[in-house]
Amino acid sequence: MTVNRIYLLFLFLCSSLNIFGSAPANDTLAADFSHLPSGIDLRPYLFSIEDKGEHLTLKQVPAAEFSHNYLIFHEQRKNIGKEHNCWLKLHVKNTGQSDSALTFFAGWHDYMYWYIQDSSQQLHLLRQTGMMLDRDNVRRWEHYGFPITVPPGQTRTFFLHINNKIHNENALMPTLFNALQYEGFRSSQLEFYRKETVLVQVLLGMLLVCLAIAIINYIQLPDRSYLYFAAYMLGLILFFTLRLESKPYQLSVFYRWPMLKYYWDVPALLFCFYLMYLAFGNAFLNLQERYPFMEKLFNYVAAFIGAIILLCFYCIAMEQYHVPGMIYSYVYLATLLPLLVVFAALARRSRHHPLVRFFLFGSLCFYIACFGSFIMLVKPLGLISALGELSAPSLLIIAGVLLQSMFFLAGLSYRNKLVHNERTRTQEMLIKQLNKNKELQRKLNEQLEELVKEQTTEILRKKQELEEQRKIQLETEYDKKLTEIELKAIRAQINPHFIFNCLNSIQLFVMQRDYEYAQKYLSDFSYLIRKTLDFSRRNFISLADEIAYLNTYLGLEKMRFENKMEYEIVIDPVIATAELEVPAMLLQPYVENAVKYGMTNSSQAIGRLLIQFNQVAPDMLECLIEDNGIGINRSKTLRTLPKHHQSSGMEISFNRAELLNKMYNTGIHIYVIDKSENNNTESGTIVRILIPQL
């Protein structure tokens, strides 16, 4: 047996001498590119330098002091506890006669940059890739094999910059392959990860089934425990789906967001196995009613875990990737004993609360699976590296997750059954009580129906009589009051003194043989009388009719005063006088009063009267009647008529406006202002009337 080993070693040495030719230099790999042995270990030919502070620039790297350091290489995943940033330098000489491409493979790392050095010592980037960088779907795994092309008889220098941000560094074992060898290596890697990937995919399918069942049950029976369980399932589905992102040559739906698997690594474990676990247990066991102290404990711990999750997100955003792993390790170790105490406390109450059994069995399955996986990792990796691998789901942890999910889902189904049974019993009791109430209600209804019929008939009869009497009384009062107001308005409009003056004026024109003027005066006077009688029968007329009526009246007064009076009617152009309606003959008494007292001012040679119609709002008409007479206050002191006869026309118009406001809800407002109150040098009266449009 020993002879065979020596013979095989001798053959290997001879083969190496034939392939590599003369002994290579200490810093150069001399190889025949057309006859490369399978998988050359490049560690003896690689020089390395660690850039802990990331201070080296591309110009400084070629001149930096590289050295042989075998400690940075490792064949298995290793917990480094911090960021690892290093440069590898490789000199390659092609001793063969052909120009073929070789492939340099150093593992799956976070950031990788492949450079070639030219004759002027400058570095040129050939390829960049990495677990935190590459977004090129499945083809991204081909980027981790870096091409080495060296013409026959020449030597070239290559640099590989590796920067691992995460605390668990993947295997770093640099190897050189030709095309056929690299394809075989790729197939072996695919086969190695395929079993674990198939297992993860099966787990994802089962978790999706659990999620669908939880959602369907929540639709049938809205309960917070279903929501927390669904959130727990969603967190696990996302966690394991992102695990496919780190399996070489496996398809993942999140390849466009390579950083997502790092953000949802440790936070996912805290979210699913602590935060949602506590929230689900609180709602599922109804701790608030059954175990208030444990409910408070669960809430405090859940709030603390929520704060830790936010802290982990912050550390990841600040590129402190090792901190969340350390935090999770401390949380895991700190909760081992308290969880056992909680399980013991729940076990004592499982007899009286059957739901506790489902929660307890599911929790114990996952607890034992996690602890067993941790113990299995301690022996091959050591305590520190085993703590770093707590977030990596092993086969035992996957089995624990499935058992826990099934126990929780079975508990939810049993809880649904209990709630359904409780509802059924409650409904049966309610139906019995309802039947009793219906029977009692039927008897009472029979007794009350007769009494209600008699009382209702009598009440309706009396109510109808009172309503009819009230309507008749109101109609009578309104008709009587309206008739009185209308008669008073007619008498106020056809002022006897005004009629007497008009007749005297007509007589004077006849005596002066001014028949044409007398005929015009008589015609206008008769038109005014007819319109007065016509308008007195209507409550509303158009603004155009009101303006024509006032023009006729003021024209007669101007003829009577022998042109010692001037008047003007100004209308806002936006007013449609033919369509807008105003109360009939509401303005005439105020115009007549302005003529009566506006023409008696001895300080004014000509009496002036201004009537304005303004549209102050879309639904509000303003009418201003302004004169330069003696003013309303002075006119009151000069009146010699009895008190009951003073300003009867204005008083009737004011009362008529109030009646219209009550009958039609018009909201007419009338303001009488003496101009001397605002300015002592002016005299006269302003009447402001606001008429809303219906």
Residue 462 lies in a domain: no
Q: Cα(366)–Cα(407) distance, rounded to whole angstroms?
A: 11
Residue 38 lies in a domain: yes
**Whether 165 and 18 share a structural domain:** yes
Residue 453 lies in a domain: no
Q: CA of 143: how far to CAs of 105, 113, 172, in Å? A: 10, 11, 16
Q: Which is it for strands 565-571 and 540-542: parallel, antiparallel or unpaired?
A: unpaired
**Whether 234 and 354 share a structural domain:** yes
Give the up-direction half-sphere exposure of residue 287: CA atoms within 13 A in the CB hemisphere.
Answer: 21
Q: For residue 491, which of 669, 641, 635, 653 has the smallest C-alpha distance?
A: 653
pLDDT digits (tens, 9 = 90+) for 311-362: 999 998 888 887 887 888 888 888 888 888 888 888 887 676 778 888 888 8
Position 483 scores a pLDDT of 60
Position 41 scores a pLDDT of 86
Instruction: Decide: helix, strand or coil at residue 164.
Output: strand
Q: Cα(629)–Cα(614) distance, rounded to whole angstroms?
A: 23
Q: How confident is the model at residue 179 (pLDDT cuts 50, 70, 90)?
A: confident
**Whether 419 and 498 share a structural domain:** no
Position 3 scores a pLDDT of 34
Angle in degrees, CA 127, 133, 139, rounded to 5: 65
Residue 77: alpha-carbon gap to chain centroid: 44
Position 694 scores a pLDDT of 65
**Whether 551 and 590 share a structural domain:** yes
pLDDT digits (tens, 9 = 90+) for 436-464: 888 888 888 888 888 878 888 888 888 88
Listing DSSP states for 584-626 in one string gives TTSSHHHHHHHHHHHS--TT-SSEEEEEEEEEEETTEEEEEEE
Q: Cα(684)–Cα(633) distance, rounded to whole angstroms?
A: 9
- Indicate if the pLDDT at residue 535 is higher than 50: yes
Q: Cα(252)–Cα(255) distance, rounded to whole angstroms?
A: 6
Lowest mean pLDDT among 480-484, 569-573, 604-608: 480-484
**Residue 208, domain CATH:** 1.20.1070
Residue 37: alpha-carbon gap to chain centroid: 63
Residue that is last in its domain, among 423, 457, 485: 423
**CB contact at 8 A, 418 and 353:** no
Position 2 scores a pLDDT of 37
Position 381 scores a pLDDT of 63
- Indicate if the pLDDT at residue 387 is higher than 70: no
Q: Cα(104)–Cα(116) distance, rounded to whole angstroms?
A: 13
Residue 470 lies in a domain: no
Residue that is last in its domain, among 362, 396, 423: 423
pLDDT digits (tens, 9 = 90+) for 277-314: 899 888 888 888 888 888 888 899 999 999 999 999 99
DSSP 114: E
Q: Which is it for strands 607-617 and 565-571: parallel, antiparallel or unpaired?
A: parallel
Residue that is last in its domain, among 423, 457, 472: 423
pLDDT digits (tens, 9 = 90+) for 3-37: 343 333 333 333 333 333 333 435 788 877 777 76
Structure tokens, 485: 């107001």
144-169: burial string, b at 16+ Cβ within 10 Å, e else: bbbebebeeeeebbbbbbbbbbbbbb
Backbone angles phi, psi at 283, to 5 degrees: -75, -40
**CB contact at 8 A, 633 and 686:** no
Residue 15 lies in a domain: yes
Listing DSSP states for 368-417 in one string gives HHHHHHHHHHHHHHHHHHHHHTTTS--HHHHHHHHHHHHHHHHHHHHHHH
- Indicate if the pLDDT at residue 175 is higher than 80: yes
Residue 474 lies in a domain: no
Q: Which residues contact 168 (CB under 8 A, 6 or more apart)?
A: 77, 78, 79, 80, 325, 388, 389, 392
The domain of 581 spans: 494-692
- Indicate if the pLDDT at residue 419 is higher than 80: no
**Whether 309 and 378 share a structural domain:** yes
Position 105 scores a pLDDT of 94
Q: CA of 331: how far to CAs of 3, 274, 317, 325, 603, in Å? A: 57, 10, 21, 10, 104
Lowest mean pLDDT among 25-29, 120-124, 126-130, 137-141: 25-29
Position 628 scores a pLDDT of 84
- Indicate if the pLDDT at residue 488 is higher than 90: no
**Residue 24, domain CATH:** 2.60.40.2380
**Whether 504 and 640 share a structural domain:** yes
Residue 468 lies in a domain: no
**Whether 663 and 580 share a structural domain:** yes
Name which residue leads in pLDDT, 172 or 563. 172
**CB contact at 8 A, 82 and 137:** no
Rama region for 338: left / alpha / beta (φ>0; ψ in -120 to 50; rest) = alpha
Instruction: Decide: helix, strand or coil at residue 167.
Output: coil
**Whether 230 and 309 share a structural domain:** yes
Position 611 scores a pLDDT of 92
**Residue 499, domain CATH:** 3.30.565.10
Question: Which H or E run includes 293?
Answer: helix 292-317
**Whether 508 and 415 share a structural domain:** no
Mean pLDDT across 38-43: 82
Position 126 scores a pLDDT of 92
**Whether 132 and 214 share a structural domain:** no
Residue 97 lies in a domain: yes
**CB contact at 8 A, 58 and 40:** no
**Whether 167 and 304 share a structural domain:** no
Q: For residue 525, which of 491, 499, 544, 548 has the smallest C-alpha distance?
A: 499
pLDDT digits (tens, 9 = 90+) for 640-678: 544 444 456 677 777 777 777 777 777 888 888 888 777
pLDDT digits (tens, 9 = 90+) for 133-151: 888 877 888 889 999 888 8
Q: For residue 25, which of 50, 49, 47, 40 has the smallest C-alpha distance?
A: 47
pLDDT digits (tens, 9 = 90+) for 70-91: 888 988 888 776 788 999 999 9
Exposed/middle/buried for 235, CB within 10 Å: 0-12, 13-18, 19+?
A: buried
Q: For residue 391, which of 340, 339, 331, 335 has the smallest C-alpha distance?
A: 331
**Whether 165 and 249 share a structural domain:** no
**CB contact at 8 A, 366 and 394:** no
Lowest mean pLDDT among 2-11, 519-528, 577-586: 2-11
534: number of Cβ within 10 Å: 13
Mean pLDDT across 94-108: 84
Enter the pTM of the model: 0.56
489-525: burial string, b at 16+ Cβ within 10 Å, e else: bbebbebeebeeebeebbeebeeeeeeebbeebbebb
Q: For residue 525, which of 507, 543, 503 has the smallest C-alpha distance?
A: 503
How many structural domains compose the chain?
A: 3
What contacts 24+ positions apart, CB below 8 Å, involve 342-346?
342/294, 343/367, 345/294, 346/285
